[in-house]
Amino acid sequence: MTVQKSQLANVIASDNRADIASKTVKTTCCYCGVGCGVEATVEDNRVTAVKGDELHPANLGRLCVKGSSLHETQSNPNRLLQPMLHGEATDWETALNYSADKFKAIVEQYGPESVAFYLSGQLLTEDYYVANKLMKGFVGTANIDTNSRLCMASAVVAHKRAFGGDVVPGNYEDLENTDLVLLVGSNTAYAHPIIYQRIVKAKAARPNMKVVVIDPRRTATCDIADYHLAIRPGSDAFLFNGLLGYLADNNALDSEFIANHSEGFDEALSVAKAQVASVEQAAVMCDVAKNDLTAVYDLFAKTTKAVTVFSQGVNQSSSGVDKGNTIINCHLATGKIGKLGAAPFSITGQPNAMGGREVGGLANQLAAHMSFDNQPDIDRVASFWRAPNMAQGEGLKAVDMFQAVHDGKIKAIWIMATNPVVTMPDANFIREALEKCELVLVSDCIANTDTGKLADVVFPATTWSEKNGTVTNSERRISLQKGFLPAPGQAKHDWQIISEFAQKIGFEQAFNYTHPVEIFREHAALSGVDNGVDVGTNTRPVRGFDISGMQHISKQAYENLQPIQWPVNSHKPNGTARLFEDANFFTASGRAKFVPISARFPQMPPKDNQVIMNTGRIRDQWHTMTRTGSAAKLLGHIDEPFIDIHPADAKRFGLAHKDIAVLENRGARYLGRVNVSDSQRVSEVFVPMHWNDNFASSSRADALVNAITDPLCGQPEFKHSPVEINPYNAQWSGFIASELPVTPNADYWVKIPVDKGYKYRIADTVTPSNWSEWLTEQFPLVSDWVELTDSSQAFYRKVGFIEGRLAVVLNIARGNEQPIENRWLEQQLGEQCDLNQRFAVLAGVAGEGVEDEGPIVCSCFQIGAKAIQTAIEGGCCSAEALGEKLKCGSNCGSCIPEINGMIRAFSPQHAAKQA
């Protein structure tokens, strides 16, 4: 279904989006870059339910499991409600004065290069704009970078090199109207679930549409793949260089496009062919079967409409920019750009990764797609801002910025809406840097994040549903994230905190904003300044980003903003669905540029005893889990850090399925549960990026990631870290279930919020001398205990009560093997227990008639693996049939790839076919 713009305008105009008292409010999801429209039901100042906005063009009514749980992550027990100064609660005046005075003194003594901001693609455009203006125009330094450096920096530079500007040409409808989707380094099913579902639906409607997944792992996304190329990690540029040569050799070039709208083709082709002369050679470089590669090359050559979606498997690399350009080269060579269903498509991760690029949130950008390479751009921005201290050159990129903090060159840093102690490469070094830094300011909505713990001052920020402002999704679509709830406690909006700080350091006039619309108008106006050259009777834009058409937007129109795709200007007042339809690019010549690429492998190859650690996302968690980790429902699917490993490697390293293993690099450890799976290639492991010191004792993957970056864009090589792997050799393993949080006194612990408290999986290589003491020390408030052990001391169980209510359960066993857990036991937490129940709990067995349901596959309806397996074995052999029987997969659909995987594994028909 396609919603016409006019249709949309009518419906939204008649819907009172601004009315706080109304029961439903339209807003935008705060998680990923798909940018789904959400309808939130509000009762008594609380969001009680959410559903997808049927009229939002990004999702047309659908939401994934994270989006549909937005209301369940609202009341977070760790919400930060007041400013903190050196760990003590304080008031705003004290916190801001302390920060401003210290910051100003540092700038006065050491100059503007001694301070830095580190921002986030989770800020709203208005927050981002104000921070960027303050640093680059007023403090006088471009030492302002963002976590987009870890995410989109490669794509930004690839776009600039090819198109003359950082623009994504296509849109989501192209994905539905194409005949071939290549998903490269993108686990779309998990990371962009609604885009994935749009592709699934389009393919079901037109089965001739082909899907190719290029990823070293067999991911959930492969569920719909006609071809999965499990390539050698880091070999993508060889693959696309090989494709360019194949296109030339097989008469598949668009000569008209190459001749009239591009430059540099011959050189790009000759460099590609010099390196990858044939399909055979490409197959060897990429370590895939030649037949499969030929089939994929042939599909691309013969299909006029193709979209190549690329994400972190391409970007997070020491040659990520080049990889992006090899992809774009193939699209330019075949004219697959600027047309319905044809585009290279870099999808953004964070909700406002694109907005950050618009305001110039990176250290090497100026606002509104202007550049430090160009003095007129610098002067233009300076005069527009009336900037007293305009930065004249690029600042430090994230990795270099934290190095400078560590070196003492940067003495004050303000970190907003990001958690670098968990998510920057060499994360222990980042921790050290912040420990040494004179002034660390953090803005977050959550208390005690791993980064917040190191701050001198923490500012409490408002967040989704409270803050008001715009975000831009992967397809350049600007939507409003609406503020409809009052700020809790003393929390303030990020733009407000920055503006008040700016005023305190002496810039009153330029930061006297009272509402985000004022910031938005200024941002929109700047994007239009000198943004057009006259070409005959037409005007050709110089910069892709132009929303000057919205510079006079009224407050009411802003509060009712309908989703709109930039550019939005006098020529395109209703926005622009697709760029380059006229094959006019933003380069000086107006032609797209081929970039000759000599492909490179990752910088650090593994040694013989090492494996390559690949990192990435799981379905139900968002980054450092500050919000999604608080919802028991979102931990049902995967609740513990893991290590996916091929069976041959498990054997080689002496690891059994479900044991704990240790990954090590540079003295840092990652502990995770072994998951033996042939979805991995040999000598490569995959671990999630999410776990951190608030959820586990030693499972920050980034402590092991080397700070190796792409020389052109500074993006780290997160997907390729050589590490050692060994069994953990636990002397004992077990769990604690507790009503209240605790930090278990065990070398290995993982915290798992459950409905009525917390569960901790624990293990250690040393056995405590006295179990009873060990436990009671951690729970001094509990005095009423019952315990159970056996004479050979193979297991030990102890249960504690407070006033007859179950408060603590400990269950441990000797060795590596986890004692059996069940959800029934967790559900008894806080319940009054009579004598019988006390012994049932102590025995650790489910109550009568209560079966353990295994890991939760369908988070929406909390359907466990066991029920699904039983139904499949009983003959329910399609996702639809299972949905009817158990409801699983019938809401957001995020678990359908898993369900299909289970059908393949357990269905009697499938087993018969295999035999």
Ligand X SMILES: Nc1nc2c(c(=O)[nH]1)N[C@H]1C(S)=C(S)[C@@H](COP(=O)(O)OP(=O)(O)OC[C@H]3O[C@@H](n4cnc5c(=O)[nH]c(N)nc54)[C@H](O)[C@@H]3O)O[C@H]1N2
Residue ranges that bind ligand SF4, judged by CB under 6 A: 29, 31-32, 34-36, 59, 63-64, 66-67, 193-194
Phi, psi for 676 (deg, rounded to 5): -75, 125
Considering the complex, state which of residue 616 and residue 893 has its C-beta at the smaller distance from ligand X.
616
Token pair listed for 494: 């990020």
Considering the complex, state which of residue 416 and residue 903 has its C-beta at the smaller distance from ligand X.
416
Query: 67 is in the binding site of which of ligand SF4, ligand X, Mo ion, none (Cβ under 5 to 8 A by kind)?
Result: ligand SF4
Task: Please state the closest distance from residue 87 (CB atom) to ligand SF4, in A.
Answer: 33
Considering the complex, state which of residue 645 and residue 886 has its C-beta at the smaller distance from ligand X.
645
Task: Please state the closest distance from residue 622 (CB atom) to ligand SF4, in A.
Answer: 8
Task: Please state the closest distance from residue 187 (CB atom) to ligand X, in A.
Answer: 4
Considering the complex, state which of residue 79 and residue 555 has its C-beta at the smaller distance from ligand X.
79
Task: Please state the closest distance from residue 714 (CB atom) to Mo ion, in A.
Answer: 14
Give the span between the Cα atoms of 741 and 128, in whole angstroms: 35
Task: Please state the closest distance from residue 526 (CB atom) to ligand X, in A.
Answer: 23
Query: 59 is in the binding site of which of ligand SF4, Mo ion, ligand X, none (Cβ under 5 to 8 A by kind)?
Result: ligand SF4
Task: Please state the closest distance from residue 858 (CB atom) to ligand SF4, in A.
Answer: 15
Query: 236 is in the binding site of which of ligand X, ligand SF4, Mo ion, none (Cβ under 5 to 8 A by kind)?
Result: ligand X
Determine if 349 is a binding residue for Mo ion (CB under 5 A).
Answer: yes
Considering the complex, state which of residue 419 and residue 828 has its C-beta at the smaller distance from Mo ion.
419
**Rounded to the nearest 10 degrees, how much is the dihedral formed by the CA atoms of 791, 792, 793, 799?**
-40
* DSSP track, 673-723: EEEE-TTSPTTEEEEES---TTTBSS--GGGTS---B-TTT--B-TT-EEE
Give the span between the Cα atoms of 623 and 422, in whole angstroms: 9
Determine if 425 is a binding residue for Mo ion (CB under 5 A).
Answer: no
Stretch that binds Mo ion, among 146-154, 211-219, 645-653, 704-712 (CB under 5 A): 146-154
Token pair listed for 626: 């500050």
Q: Which residues, 6 or more positions from 293, have their beta carbon under 8 angstroms from its beta carbon? A: 229, 239, 242, 279, 282, 283, 286
Give the span between the Cα atoms of 295 and 380, in whole angstroms: 51
H or E, element range at 49: strand 46-52
Query: 705 is in the binding site of which of ligand X, ligand SF4, Mo ion, none (Cβ under 5 to 8 A by kind)?
Result: ligand X
Considering the complex, state which of residue 114 and residue 312 has its C-beta at the smaller distance from Mo ion.
312
Considering the complex, state which of residue 623 and residue 673 has its C-beta at the smaller distance from ligand SF4.
623
Task: Please state the closest distance from residue 603 (CB atom) to ligand X, in A.
Answer: 13
Give the span between the Cα atoms of 190 and 713, in whole angstroms: 26
Query: 112 is in the binding site of which of Mo ion, ligand SF4, ligand X, none (Cβ under 5 to 8 A by kind)?
Result: none
Task: Please state the closest distance from residue 191 (CB atom) to ligand SF4, in A.
Answer: 8
Query: 520 is in the binding site of which of ligand X, ligand SF4, Mo ion, none (Cβ under 5 to 8 A by kind)?
Result: none
Task: Please state the closest distance from residue 478 (CB atom) to ligand X, in A.
Answer: 18
Token pair listed for 104: 């100003």
Query: 701 is in the binding site of which of Mo ion, ligand SF4, ligand X, none (Cβ under 5 to 8 A by kind)?
Result: ligand X
What is the footprint of Mo ion within residues 545-604 (CB under 5 A)?
none
Task: Please state the closest distance from residue 473 (CB atom) to ligand SF4, in A.
Answer: 8
Q: Which residues bind ligand X (CB under 6 A)?
A: 32, 120-122, 147, 150-151, 184-187, 190-191, 214-217, 219, 231, 233-234, 236, 311-313, 316, 349-350, 416-420, 422-423, 443-446, 449, 461, 463, 467, 494, 614-617, 619, 621-624, 626, 689, 701-702, 705, 718-719
Distances (CA, A) of 88 to 91, 449, 461, 599, 710: 10, 15, 17, 52, 40
Cis amide leading into 567 (omega within 30):
yes
Considering the complex, state which of residue 144 and residue 782 has its C-beta at the smaller distance from ligand X.
144
Sign of the dihedral through C-alpha 836, 841, 844, 846: positive
Token pair listed for 824: 């029934």
Of 311, 304, 300, nearest to 342 by C-alpha is 304
Cβ(688)–Cβ(621) below 8 Å: yes
Considering the complex, state which of residue 733 and residue 891 has its C-beta at the smaller distance from ligand SF4.
891
* DSSP track, 856-896: EEETTTTEEHHHHHHHHHTT--SHHHHHHHH-TTSSS-TTH
Query: 615 is in the binding site of which of ligand X, ligand SF4, Mo ion, none (Cβ under 5 to 8 A by kind)?
Result: ligand X
Query: 275 is in the binding site of which of Mo ion, ligand X, ligand SF4, none (Cβ under 5 to 8 A by kind)?
Result: none
Of 228, 182, 233, 184, nearest to 717 by C-alpha is 233
For residue 420, the 8-state DSSP code is H
482 class by beta-carbon count within 10 Å (0-12 exposed, 13-18 middle, 19+ buried): buried
Token pair listed for 781: 């408030």
Considering the complex, state which of residue 152 and residue 271 has its C-beta at the smaller distance from Mo ion.
152
Task: Please state the closest distance from residue 707 (CB atom) to ligand X, in A.
Answer: 12
Query: 63 is in the binding site of which of ligand SF4, Mo ion, ligand X, none (Cβ under 5 to 8 A by kind)?
Result: ligand SF4
Of 147, 144, 125, 122, nearest to 134 by C-alpha is 144
Considering the complex, state which of residue 149 and residue 380 has its C-beta at the smaller distance from Mo ion.
149
H or E, element range at 250: none
Considering the complex, state which of residue 396 and residue 705 has its C-beta at the smaller distance from ligand X.
705
The neighbour count for residue 79, using CB atoms within 10 Å, is 17
Query: 35 is in the binding site of which of ligand X, Mo ion, ligand SF4, none (Cβ under 5 to 8 A by kind)?
Result: ligand SF4
Query: 194 is in the binding site of which of ligand SF4, ligand X, Mo ion, none (Cβ under 5 to 8 A by kind)?
Result: ligand SF4
Task: Please state the closest distance from residue 461 (CB atom) to ligand X, in A.
Answer: 3
Distances (CA, A) of 741 to 635, 694, 737, 759, 760: 16, 11, 9, 9, 9
Considering the complex, state which of residue 76 and residue 304 has its C-beta at the smaller distance from ligand X.
76
661: β partners: 672, 727
Considering the complex, state which of residue 627 and residue 823 has its C-beta at the smaller distance from Mo ion.
627
Considering the complex, state which of residue 121 and residue 641 has its C-beta at the smaller distance from ligand X.
121
List the one residue from 151, 368, 712, 723 that touches Mo ion (CB under 5 A). Answer: 151
Query: 719 is in the binding site of which of ligand X, ligand SF4, Mo ion, none (Cβ under 5 to 8 A by kind)?
Result: ligand X
Phi, psi for 887 (deg, rounded to 5): 80, -15
Task: Please state the closest distance from residue 671 (CB atom) to ligand SF4, in A.
Answer: 28
Position closest to ligand SF4 via CB: 67
533: left (phi over 0), alpha (psi -120 to 50) or beta: beta
Angle at 66 between CA 61 and CA 70, to 5 degrees: 80
Query: 34 is in the binding site of which of ligand X, ligand SF4, Mo ion, none (Cβ under 5 to 8 A by kind)?
Result: ligand SF4
Distances (CA, A) of 34 to 197, 309, 442, 475, 641: 11, 13, 27, 8, 26
Considering the complex, state which of residue 139 and residue 151 has its C-beta at the smaller distance from Mo ion.
151
899 class by beta-carbon count within 10 Å (0-12 exposed, 13-18 middle, 19+ buried): buried
Give the span between the Cα atoms of 469 and 523, in whole angstroms: 12
Task: Please state the closest distance from residue 348 (CB atom) to ligand SF4, in A.
Answer: 11
The neighbour count for residue 88, using CB atoms within 10 Å, is 9
Considering the complex, state which of residue 154 and residue 576 has its C-beta at the smaller distance from ligand X.
154
Task: Please state the closest distance from residue 29 (CB atom) to ligand SF4, in A.
Answer: 3
Query: 449 is in the binding site of which of ligand X, Mo ion, ligand SF4, none (Cβ under 5 to 8 A by kind)?
Result: ligand X
Task: Please state the closest distance from residue 863 (CB atom) to ligand SF4, in A.
Answer: 19
Give the interface with Mo ion as residue ranges (CB under 5 A).
151, 349
